[in-house]
């Protein structure tokens, strides 16, 4: 399954949740396959659109891993990279199962082949006492070690291909969000011109083209 580009911009967090958590005016930093990272001052969090279920009412976009007090910008960038990686895995076939926990939600990353939960994202980042438990950086390391469930669907679709390219570009810690988006756009051009270049090769070619 997949989400159209810009899904979270068109389906933001519900106003009641935003107001209750004091997140009015938050900035959406990335949106890949209905998974995004939000930022407002020292607050950072994931936004996740639930996978549609025709038998249930639309649950709306939900918030997870809410961190009210970021330590530094590196910690903030881990949220962006984590959102992009979760979106990439979703495009490859993993499912994101959401469970409400008050105003926020826990997210389980489910392997579709076995039904096993391979990673769990808490509704909010635990306190820093005794190491702080799961945080964006540690969760990112965990999910980056997972193989794709399968190839991303229909890479002949420019919209889907760009989401894959953006997710891969955001793995590069030297790139900001705007630079990664520009690189993904250039890689998309090169992939379409070549008629058969896979996403990692297109990104590498775009990097070389950018540095030329």
- The answer to whether 134 and 121 have CB atoms below 8 angstroms apart is yes
pLDDT band at 178; cut points 50, 70, 90: confident
User: pLDDT tens-digit profile of 44-88?
Assistant: 999 999 987 777 677 899 999 999 999 888 888 999 999 999 999
Query: Given this model, what pLDDT does residue 113 score?
Result: 86
pLDDT band at 129; cut points 50, 70, 90: low
User: pLDDT tens-digit profile of 7-29?
Assistant: 999 999 999 999 999 999 999 99
Per-residue CA distances from 73 to 16, 80, 131 (Å) = 28, 11, 19
pTM: 0.88
pLDDT at position 158 over 60:
yes
Percent above pLDDT 70 for the chain = 92
Query: Given this model, what pLDDT does residue 73 score?
Result: 87
Would you tell me the crossing angle of helices 136-144 and 73-92 to the nearest 10 degrees? 30
Residues 109-135, mean pLDDT to the nearest whole number = 82
Query: Given this model, what pLDDT does residue 153 score?
Result: 66
> Measured in Å, how far apart are the chain's first and last C-alpha atoms?
37
Buried-state track 1-32, b at ≥16 Cβ within 10 A, e below 16: ebbebebbeebbbeeebbeebebeebebbbbb
Q: What is the mean pLDDT of the chain?
A: 88
C-alpha 85: how far from chain center: 5
- The answer to whether 65 and 139 have CB atoms below 8 angstroms apart is yes
Query: Given this model, what pLDDT does residue 103 score?
Result: 96
Residues 196-209, mean pLDDT to the nearest whole number = 86
Contacts of 69 (CB under 8 A, 6+ apart): 42
Query: Given this model, what pLDDT does residue 102 score?
Result: 93
């Amino acid at each position: 399954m997949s989400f159209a580009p810009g899904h979270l911009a068109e389906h933001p967090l519900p106003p009641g949740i935003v107001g209750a958590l004091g997140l009015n005016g938050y900035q959406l930093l990335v949106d890949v396959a209905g998974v995004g990272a939000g930022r407002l001052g020292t607050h950072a969090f994931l936004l996740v659109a639930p996978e549609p279920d025709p038998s249930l009412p639309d649950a709306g976009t939900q918030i997870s891993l809410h961190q009210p007090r970021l330590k530094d910008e590196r910690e903030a960038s881990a949220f962006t990279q984590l959102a992009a990686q979760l979106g990439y895995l979703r495009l490859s076939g993993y499912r994101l199962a959401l469970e409400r926990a008050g105003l926020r939600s826990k997210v389980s990353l489910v392997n579709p082949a076995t039904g096993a939960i391979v990673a769990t994202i808490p509704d909010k980042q635990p306190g820093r006492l005794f190491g702080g438990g799961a945080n964006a950086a540690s969760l990112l390391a965990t999910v980056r070690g997972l193989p794709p469930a399968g190839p991303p669907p229909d890479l002949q679709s420019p919209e889907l291909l760009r989401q894959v390219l953006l997710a891969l570009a955001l793995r590069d810690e030297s790139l900001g969000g705007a630079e990664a988006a520009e690189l993904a756009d250039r890689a998309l051009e090169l992939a379409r011109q070549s008629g058969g270049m896979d996403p990692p090769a297109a990104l590498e070619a775009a990097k070389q083209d950018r540095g030329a």
